[in-house]
Structure 1
Amino acid sequence: MIVIRCGSAPVPTVLGEHPRVECSEVPTKEDVNRALYEIGHRRRVVVCGTDAGLAALLTRLLRTENLDMEVAYVAEDPTPATRAYDLPTGSAAAKLGVRGEAREVPLIRDETGTVLVGEATVTGPGGAHLVGEAYADDERIFSGEIDTLTVRPTPQLPGVRATAARPRRVLRRSWLPARAVQLGTEAGVITRDGVTGRRAVKRTSFYRHTEPWRLVSP
């Protein structure tokens, strides 16, 4: 087992005796490649950091065909990913990372091959309304104008769910489960796991990859 520490993320004491690789807060391609080199024959990696750090590692595991690696996640505080997969945080998460067993869960990615682990939101540029149309498989999520499209992975099949927040609407939002969520828009700004894209896009999709990933979970 090896520990990847993202930025200044705390590393609980129970992980202190294991080899460690230091990375930037949002690991770069070079960071993750170095970590994979250090992992060597080990088959479990524990990520101490944020959802963005976990997503960066999984994106590289996907692109290098290493999804058989067991992955544990240690976040200091609750995040969209810990809530999505019902994971503990802090020391409890570290103990789970050492002693827990891995299980296969759906891997959610977008058309660029970037993995989503917690939450993606899409708005118009500058936080303006999002204009367009989105579908969860064959079911329409919205058509027209909304505040935000939100997409989250799920630990069970079909693997992803989405909802739309409409302007001035107070009613409780409904979530639509799907294998794939597709959006076409005039201009959409995507924030994936806390990282906002630099440019607006006209279309995007989030969908279940053909292979799962192996999450160390309760």
Structure 2
Amino acid sequence: MSASDRAAGVVVLRFGEHRVPRGLTGLDTVDVAGSADVDAAAAGARRLVVVGADADLATVLTRLMRTERLGVELAAARGFFPRSAVTGEARRVPLIRDDAGIAIVGSAQWRGFEQGLFGEAVVDDTTLFTGDVAGVRIEPTAEMPGLRAAVQSGRGRPQRWVAGRAAQLGTTGARVIRDGVEGPREVKRSTFYRHTEGWLRVG
């Protein structure tokens, strides 16, 4: 397949002040101001290339999930070889979302407030913790069952990882941080789980 063929149907989504890498110049580019821009680009694209942070990539993935367009390939333009976001192969991997309908691509955290995180968390049928901990980190995995979670030390380091399809928390009060972005309100319950359909990740 020629370079021009590979570029056909590829749309670059630029978030905020992020600069489009030189290797992606000349491609159709959309400056994203809201979800309508993502939806419009996805409607006619074979592949979307996101220029932005993990949270921006997750925003696009969330829109693809909600609009039932998970057949669109999704790439992040990062590192020294941004052109690989155009030329790389797509692979279907598990899509991890939460009970608020928001996807994650890098990691999520459950964090407490001044007194830490108090409650209980399970991954499938395995108890992750009961009582008081500093926090929990959840990450998508490229293979089934789809995610892994670990209690964090006081310095934020993950301890023993537990893999599963879903991670559930019941707590007296927690902050949910998705790909570096903290949610707007305290929660008493939170669940991250594998969506019924995976997504087409490039790279």
Same fold, TM-score > 0.5, yes or no: yes
What's the C-alpha RMSD, in Å, of the aligned pairs? 1.8
SS across alignment from 1:9: coil
Is 1:64 aligned to 2:67, yes or no?
yes
Q: Which amino acid aligns with 2:79?
A: G
Residue pairs, 1:35-184, within 5 angstroms: 35-74=38-77, 89-92=78-81, 94-125=82-113, 127-166=114-153, 173-184=159-170
**Equivalent pairs, count:** 194
Quote the residue 2:23 is aligned against.
14
Q: 2:190 aligns with which of 189, 195, 204?
A: 204
Query: Deviation at 1:96?
Result: 1.1
How far apart are the structure 1 equivalents of 2:189 and 2:42? Answer: 36
Distance 1:14-1:135 versus aligned 2 partners, 3 A rule: same
Quote the residue 2:7 is aligned against.
none
TM-score in terms of structure 1 length: 0.84
Is 1:33 aligned to 2:36, yes or no?
yes
Q: Which 5+ residue runs of structure 2 have no aligned equivalent?
A: 1-9
Q: Which 5+ residue runs of structure 1 have no aligned equivalent?
A: 25-30, 75-88
How far apart are the structure 1 equivalents of 2:80 and 2:107? Answer: 24
TM-score in terms of structure 2 length: 0.90
Distance 1:70-1:187 versus aligned 2 partners, 3 A rule: same
How far apart are the structure 1 equivalents of 2:20 and 2:166? Answer: 35
**Are the counterparts in 1 of residues 111 and 134 from structure 2 also a CA contact under 8 Å?**
yes
Q: Which amino acid aligns with 1:196?
A: E
Is 1:186 aligned to 2:172, yes or no?
yes
Q: Which amino acid aligns with 1:47?
A: V
How far apart are the structure 2 equivalents of 1:159 and 1:39? Answer: 25
Q: 2:32 aligns with which of 23, 31, 39?
A: 23
**Are the counterparts in 1 of residues 121 and 167 from structure 2 also a CA contact under 8 Å?**
yes
